[in-house]
Amino acid sequence: MVRRVAADTSIRVMTVPRATLDSRVRPAHAQTTALLRSEADMNELTVDDIEAITLGATLLGTGGGGDPYIAKLVAHQALEEYGPVPVINAADLDPDDLVLTTAIIGAPTVILEKIPAGTEFVGSVKALSSYLGREPAAIMAIEIGGLNTLLPIATAAEMGLPIVNCDGMRRAFPQIEMTVFTLAGISAGPLSIADEKGNQCVFETTTNQIAESLARSAVIQLGLANSISCYPMTAGTLVDNAIHGSLTYCANIGKLLQAAQTGEDGAWDHFLSETGSREFFTGKVVDLDRRTTDGFAKSTVILEDLHGSDSTMRVEVQNENLIAFLDGEAVITTPNLICLLDHETLEPLTTESVAYGNRAVVIGMPCAPEWHRDGMLELVGPAAFGYEIDYVELDA
């Protein structure tokens, strides 16, 4: 894994070999940037960290990932009630320690009415722990991006366990199998689903795609606002395969963006350079086409140049922003992140909130380097979402 920094510009360039066959030889900290090096900065998570993490999570939601508002309130209440949560790195644990994940699974519209109880998350962890015959040493998020960033913090607080500073996506994706763990051949199963009433089930699965469809069919029966605990792993497996530092990354980009939002001098450039992001377009939303097929909220957003040139940008959306075309040419593609931010406030615009007339900055943000390995394109590249478009490397 190589990370090259273009020292003479504000653009940070990342070049990554496509095939990193033996992930075990990759030291977990090799690719740290200034931002990722701050893994050690956060020893514990308190209520004071929630706003920045929520903003970072909204950005990493890349237009989707579910509105983190309710999750923010859940995390806030849990931290107030149970106290701060220790933040640890996977390498701090005994390699044989068990780490369990939690996430909400269901439908965003239902979650607005069926507010989490908290017990469903603890329930899914306990169900899986009981099935495995082992207690977890820590909790982690599977998806740092959108509302699933914040809910595991509440679970960790309630269970009195530390949270591991890593995840499997470092952005939002719509399906369980879309993780770097799948690329590493790690099974999503056995996995557990739990509701707030005490109903629980554990699935053994043969592929991570089946894990997704079994989980989805269970939650339809359980009210579409449930907890899932999947990808049970030892700390040793995490050290080799997870995206490390995701939680601090999320908190830090949230802080950097907060600084930019308050108009702090140079803060926006700092945000861009720290994340290796690049502004691709500044425009006005002139067309918006929303439709829903197969449970996906698909839409197309077209922006015209704010400065009056004929240039246009088109963003294709399926729950998350997936492809950005500049004058017909794909310039940002999944799994790299496409983020629309309000031109005036720098508030991230979500798929639901974007509207005609919005003036937006479109940035491309590199996905976590851990994504760059065999199978990435088949799992989360443009083709995985039905686009006949080549993946585009994000560089200067």
Partner 1 sequence: MKTENALRIGVDVGGTNTDAVVIDDAGAVLSKVKVATTPAPIDGIRAALDAVLPDVDTSRITKAMLGTTHPANAIIQRRELDKVGVLRLAAPSSFGVRSGAAWPDDIRNLVLGAAAIIEGGNEYTGQEIAPLDDEAVKRFAGDAIEAGCNAIAVSAAFSPASNDHELRAFELLRAELGPEIAVSLSHQVGSLGLLERENATILNAALLSVATSVVEGFEAALSAHDLEVDAFLTQNDGTLMTAAHAGRFPVLTLGSGPTNSMRGACALAGVNDAVVIDIGGTSADAGILVDGFPRESSAAVEVGGVRTNFRMPDLISIGLGGGTVVRDARAGNGDSLVVGPDSVGYAVATEARCMGGSTLTLSDISLAAGRLRTFGDARLVEDLDESLVIDSLAWVDEQVMIMTERMKSSRDEVPLLAVGGGAHLVSDDIAGVSAVLRPENFAIANAYGACIAEASGTVDRVYSYDTDGRDDCIADARDLAVNAAVRAGADPEEIRITAVTEIPMTYVPGGGCRVMVKAAGPLA
Enumerate the β-bridge partners of residue 335. none
Binding of residue 220 to partner 1 (CB under 8 A): yes
Shortest Å distance, C-beta 357 to partner 1: 4
Question: 97 or 143: whose CB is closer to partner 1?
Answer: 143
Q: Is 370 helix (H, G, I), strand (E, B) or coil?
A: helix
The region that residue 166 occupies, defined by phi over 0 for left and psi between -120 and 50 for alpha, beta otherwise, is: beta
Find the shortest distance in angstroms from Cβ 78 to partner 1: 7
Residue among 107, 259, 330, 383 that touches partner 1 (CB under 8 A): 107
SS3 label, residue 34 = coil
Contact yes or no for 361/307 (Cβ under 8 A): no
Q: Is 289 in the site for partner 1 (CB under 8 A)?
A: no
Burial 326-345 (b: 16+ CB within 10 A, else e): beeebbbbbbbbbbbbbbee
Q: Which 8-state DSSP code applies to residue 133?
A: T
CB 276 to partner 1: min, Å: 30
Rounded to whole angstroms, the Cα distance separating 91 from 5 reads: 26
Residue 233 CB, shortest distance to partner 1, in Å, is: 26
Residue 61 tokens read as: 């939601």
> Rule CB under 8 A: which of 338-357 touch partner 1?
352-353, 355-357
**Whole-number Å distance between alpha carbons of 312 and 292:** 24
45 touches partner 1 by CB under 8 A: no
Q: How far is the CB of 76 from partner 1 (least distance, A)?
A: 7
Q: Does 387 contact partner 1 by CB under 8 A?
A: no
Residue from 34, 40, 115, 396 binding partner 1 (CB under 8 A): 115
Nearer to partner 1, 227 or 333 (CB): 227
Is 130 one of the binding residues for partner 1 (CB under 8 A)? no
In the shown chain, the binding pattern of residues 298 to 327 toward partner 1, with x for contact by CB under 8 A and - for none, equals ---------------------x--------
Regarding 117 and contact with partner 1 (CB under 8 A), the answer is yes
Q: Are strands 191-194 and 138-141 parallel, antiparallel or unpaired?
A: unpaired
Rule CB under 8 A: say whether 284 interacts with partner 1: yes
CB-based contact 321:315 (threshold 8 Å): yes
Q: Strand 166-167 relative to strand 191-194: parallel, antiparallel, unpaired?
A: unpaired
Buried b (16+ CB within 10 A) or exposed e, 369-380: bbbbbeebbebb
Size of the site for partner 1 (CB under 8 A): 44
Within 61-188, where are the H helices? 69-82, 108-111, 119-132, 151-159, 180-183
**Measured from the CB atom, is 256 or 297 closer to partner 1?**
297
- Nearer Cβ to partner 1, position 86 or 174? 174
Which residues are at the interface with partner 1 (CB under 8 A)? 69-70, 73-74, 76-78, 106-110, 112-119, 154, 196-198, 216, 220, 223-225, 284, 286, 291-292, 295-297, 319, 352-353, 355-359
